[in-house]
Amino acid sequence: MSRAVRFGTDGIRGRAHDEVTTDVAYRLGWAVARVLGATLYVGYDTRESSPELAGAVLAGARAGGVTAVNLGLFTTPGVATIARQRAGAGIVVSASHNPYYDNGLKVLGVGGAKLDVATEEAITEALARAPHAEGPFEVVGVDESAEGDYLAFLRALVPADLSGLTLVLDCANGAASHVAPALFASTGATITVLHNTPDGHNINEHCGSTNVTDLVASVLREGADLGLAFDGDADRLIAVDHRGHVRDGDDLMVLFALDRAARGELGGGLVVTVMSNLGLRRALGAVGIDVRETEVGDRNVMLALDDAAWRLGGEQSGHIIFADLASTGDGLLTGLMVAELVARRGALFDQADAAWRREPQTLVNVPAASFDAATVHALFDELIARYGVASDEVRLLVRPSGTEPVVRVMIESTDARVVAEFTQRLHAHFNAPRGSVKSPE
């Protein structure tokens, strides 16, 4: 099996028609059918390549001996919900936050959960021996009942009346473009909708959770209480408070953890990934909330939640998992939960400002060809010694990218001087592009 069709951190992903082809999609549908043996629910996002790829998945699954149901344009967590409700499995055709020319195939196990390692390996083996097929492939016969079932599920989880709120939604020209406005209109909130006119090419283009410039401007212009930005398949959410401050997954997890703890509903502690800010750990630790850390990937978060029998976890990027409510992270559910929190407890800015302080943090993508770990660690050791920073007030994370030929180097510290000088000298030594620095607000 070629490198292009191996499972990554979130399924198979690559350039549409080149790496993610209809042949790969057909074979994956067949492999999943053979391994899981359950009815397969297939949804797809708004990329121009998605319908044909979905048609190939459906054809492959039927050739593999199972019933395959076309859900049409559907969010990833929406497919997970339908699979859970109807005791089936799922495949979502989407490359999430990537540009339109990429695409991906996300597999959800029986009941809609992320695959465990053993099942993923079994599907990988079946994929290697799956038959090939030529198209063209079409998607027909959409299950018209699924969207209503999904919306009813979300509203049953968060039945709050939000008629006192003004919201701005950024749908990323993706899978949330139709369903998000309908969902939030049903709450009674006054809504303004951005980027909900997909044309096959504009998904995630200068919009959505990876680029909230338009959302910030609209929140300020409209005097809105809250802005909500989804990514292309709507499994994650970034919020904007009424003052135009961007609130990522770390902000939201702190507030959800504190609110649930105050109401006796936390059910343990919080699971985060290694990317979450040091300030989150310090703020929750100060009030006795346990924080556990996993490697990057929402599947790792879910596995840790299952292991600890905890209810809440997520990623800085906006994947938030309410394990007691849903089988996977859901940007629409998170958006409802944030809006309900604002309606019940007041402005998001005020809540976040009182709850925690984000420590200085940067992420630099160093070209893998020039990366030298010894140099990075020597620089780190030199700076923490010079500035006298204690070990619990600074953190260095070095990890190779799973999708690009770079090594991601993150530093954070309570001392902003360490972060600034480390970042500057890293650029100078490795000639890393300036655009690779990320500094969360």
Neighbours of 134 (CB within 10 A): 9
Q: pLDDT tens across 362-419, in order? A: 999 899 999 999 999 999 999 999 999 999 899 999 988 766 788 999 999 999 999 9
Among 123, 130, 122, smallest CA distance to 106 is for 123
Tell me the C-alpha to C-alpha distance, in Å, between residue 397 and each of 315, 364, 367: 15, 10, 16
Domain 361-436 has CATH 3.30.530.20: no
pLDDT at 6 (0 to 100): 61
Architecture per CATH, domain 148-243, reads as 3-Layer(aba) Sandwich (3.40)
Q: 343 versus 7: which is more confidently predicted?
A: 343
Domain 247-330 has CATH 2.30.30.230: no
288 pLDDT band, cuts 50/70/90, is very high
pLDDT at 3 (0 to 100): 40
Sheet of 320-322, strands arranged across: 291-294, 270-273, 312-314, 320-322
Domain with CATH 3.40.120.10 in the chain: 3-144, 148-243, 247-330
Q: The whole model's pTM is what?
A: 0.91
Look over the chain and give the mean of its residue pLDDT values, rounded to a whole number. 93
Q: What CATH number has the domain spanning 3-144?
A: 3.40.120.10
What is the set of active-site residues?
96
Among 248, 278, 315, 283, smallest CA distance to 412 is for 278
Residue 155 has pLDDT above 80, yes or no: yes
Compute the Cα dihedral for 92, 98, 103, 109 and give only its sign.
negative
pLDDT at 434 (0 to 100): 53
Give the range among 3-17, 117-131, 159-173 with minimum mean pLDDT.
Answer: 3-17
Region of residue 91 (phi > 0: left; psi between -120 and 50: alpha; otherwise: beta): beta
Domain with CATH 3.30.310.50 in the chain: 361-436
How far is Cα 52 from Cα 48, in angstroms, rounded to an integer? 9
